Amino acid sequence: MCEGWASAGVAVLADFGGEDIYRAESLCQGGATFGIAILLDTQPTSAKTSGTDSYMAKRMSQGLGLTKGFGALIDCTGSDTYRSSDRTRDSKETEVAHLNFSQGCGVGMKPCKDWTGADGGIGVLVDLKGNDFYLGDVVSQGASCWCALGVLFDAQGDDVYLGREASQGTGMHLSVASLIDWKGNDRYSTSADNSQGSGFDWSTGYLFDGEGDDVYRSNRLVQGAGSHVSVGILADISGSDIYSALGNAQGFGAASTLRNTASLGVLFDSEGNDSYLVEQGKEKNTVRSEYGVLIDR
Provide the pLDDT for residue 36. 98
Provide the pLDDT for residue 95. 58
- Kindly report the three-state secondary structure assignment for every residue of the chain: CECCEEECCEEEEEECCCCCEEECCCCECCEEECCEEEEEECCCCCCCCCCCCEEEECCCECCEECCCCEEEEEECCCCCEEEECCCCECCCCCCCCEEEEECCEEECECCECCECCECCCEEEEEECCCCCEEECCEEECCEEECCCEEEEEECCCCCEEEECCCECCEEECCCEEEEEECCCCCEEEECCCCECCEEECCCEEEEEECCCCCEEECCCCECCEEECCCEEEEEECCCCCEEEECCHHHCCCEECCHHHCCCEEEEEECCCCCEEEECCCCCCCCCCCCCEEEEEC
pTM of the model: 0.91
Average of per-residue pLDDT values in the chain: 89
Provide the pLDDT for residue 53. 96
Give residue-wise pLDDT tens across range 209-257: 999 999 999 988 889 999 889 999 999 999 999 999 876 556 788 887 6
Percentage of residues in the chain having pLDDT higher than 90? 66
Provide the pLDDT for residue 282. 44
Provide the pLDDT for residue 90. 57
Provide the pLDDT for residue 45. 75
Mean pLDDT by runs of 10 across the 297 residues of the chain is: 97 95 96 97 80 94 97 96 78 64 94 82 97 95 96 97 94 96 96 89 95 92 89 95 77 75 89 82 47 84
Provide the pLDDT for residue 286. 39
